[in-house]
Amino acid sequence: LKIGEIATPALLVDLDAMESNLNGMAAFFRDKVCKLRPHFKNHKTPMLAWKQIRAGAIGITCATLREAEILVQHGIDSILIANEIACDTKAERLAELSRLASVVVALDSQCVAKDLARAQRDRNTQIEAVIDIDIGLNRCGVESVEAALDLAKFAAGEGLRVRGIMGYDGHLQSVPQSAERDELIRRGSRTLVDAASLVEGAGIPVSIVTTGGTGTHAVSGVYPGITDIQAGSYLLMDTIYLNRGARFQRSLTVLATVISARSGHAVLDCGVKAISAERGMPALKDCPGAELKTLHAEHALISIDPGSAGGTLQVGQRVEVWVQYSDATMNLHSRFYGVRNGQVEEIYRIEH
């Protein structure tokens, strides 16, 4: 299949860029004590999760129980749900899933600890958890190392298998590198490692102290006591992540066709049903002077500077649009085309 034969709109991944990101991150962790447990939510593609494992990842991180179920269905046996779940039916599904693989869930409340413990008793299984600490993102997590210790003791007392500590420094991912930023990252890591020591001191063995993302991995990934890093975006890289990891390249575009054109104006067949405009308007690849102004459901409206090369956009012409925010764009597709040298090399299924 040639790129020119793909029906648009379609999601493309530049395989050279993606493989360079895969190998670059794998090389960083190769000689480290800390390992990579890459996040699945960015690509939702089991074949990519397996590539990451083959490149040295010790397991896969995900954001939802459904993603954990998909990973188990695809044979991945070490999973971290780096997020809270809070619902009886989900506790039961997690208990069932725990029969098939090691699935560790983030925990920040006693009431969920009780629900998980009840579900594992009812189903005669063993649920594993890490205590989630808020290290500055102001999202989920308990607020102090002492609260983490209390919850770890409570959860272990209820019969859950407490594996350790997690905390995500999401508020620092997009902060440009500086000595102050690195110190803030280390402060977050230190909180997690301190909490892990307290928990171990209480007789609960700790094997996981997990944190970090694409923008912070180089600092938290070498902090003594951190066992693994949950970076996800590094693999495909979208435009909003460009400043978070200079070593990584954008690989994701949406291929679209010009369906209407007149002076200074063109329309592509990719709207918000094919590409997300969340967190900024996507930019056109290799179309100087052409700017995406508005997305409708099935249309992208382009304004063209008549004096530029982009001024020549013709009906039927194909263009690529850089994905601005991959998390909200992968969701809109059920497959992507892996391309190299103008040819489709592989078609990957995105699982929902």
Ligand X SMILES: Cc1ncc(COP(=O)(O)O)c(C=O)c1O
Q: Which chain residues interact with ligand X by CB under 6 A?
A: 39, 42, 82, 168, 170, 173, 213-215, 230-234
Nearer to ligand X (CB atom), residue 228 or residue 269: 228
Run of H or E including 260: strand 252-262
Quickly count helices (H) and strands (E) in the chain: 9, 16
Q: Crossing angle, helix 145-158 and helix 179-201, to 10 degrees?
A: 40
Nearer to ligand X (CB atom), residue 230 or residue 239: 230
Q: Tell me how far, at minimum, the Cβ of 220 lies from ligand X, in Å.
A: 11
Q: What is the SS3 assignment for 258?
A: strand
Q: What is the SS3 assignment for 243?
A: helix
Q: Tell me how far, at minimum, the Cβ of 261 lies from ligand X, in Å.
A: 36
**Radius of gyration in angstroms for the set of CA atoms belonging to the chain, rounded to a whole number:** 22
Q: What is the SS3 assignment for 66?
A: helix
Residue nearest to ligand X (CB): 213
Q: Tell me how far, at minimum, the Cβ of 37 lies from ligand X, in Å.
A: 9
Q: Tell me how far, at minimum, the Cβ of 208 lies from ligand X, in Å.
A: 13
128 contacts 119 by C-beta, under 8 angstroms: no
Q: Tell me how far, at minimum, the Cβ of 106 lies from ligand X, in Å.
A: 8
For the record, the structure tokens of 283 come out as 């930019």
Q: Tell me how far, at minimum, the Cβ of 41 lies from ligand X, in Å.
A: 7
CA 4 to chain centre: 30
Query: Do the bridges between strand 252-262 and strand 318-322 make them parallel or antiparallel, or are there none, so unpaired?
Result: antiparallel
71 contacts 49 by C-beta, under 8 angstroms: yes
Nearer to ligand X (CB atom), residue 83 or residue 120: 83
Nearer to ligand X (CB atom), residue 37 or residue 333: 37
Q: What is the DSSP string of 185-201?
A: HHHHHHHHHHHHHHHHH
Nearer to ligand X (CB atom), residue 66 or residue 118: 66
Nearer to ligand X (CB atom), residue 52 or residue 233: 233
Q: What is the DSSP string of 60-109?
A: EEESSHHHHHHHHHTT--EEEE-S----HHHHHHHHHHTTTSEEEEEE--
Nearer to ligand X (CB atom), residue 156 or residue 218: 218
Q: Tell me how far, at minimum, the Cβ of 233 lies from ligand X, in Å.
A: 3
Distances (CA, A) of 343 to 1, 21, 254, 320, 336: 6, 20, 15, 15, 13
Nearer to ligand X (CB atom), residue 132 or residue 351: 132
Q: Tell me how far, at minimum, the Cβ of 310 lies from ligand X, in Å.
A: 31
- Partners of residue 348 on adjacent β-strands: 336
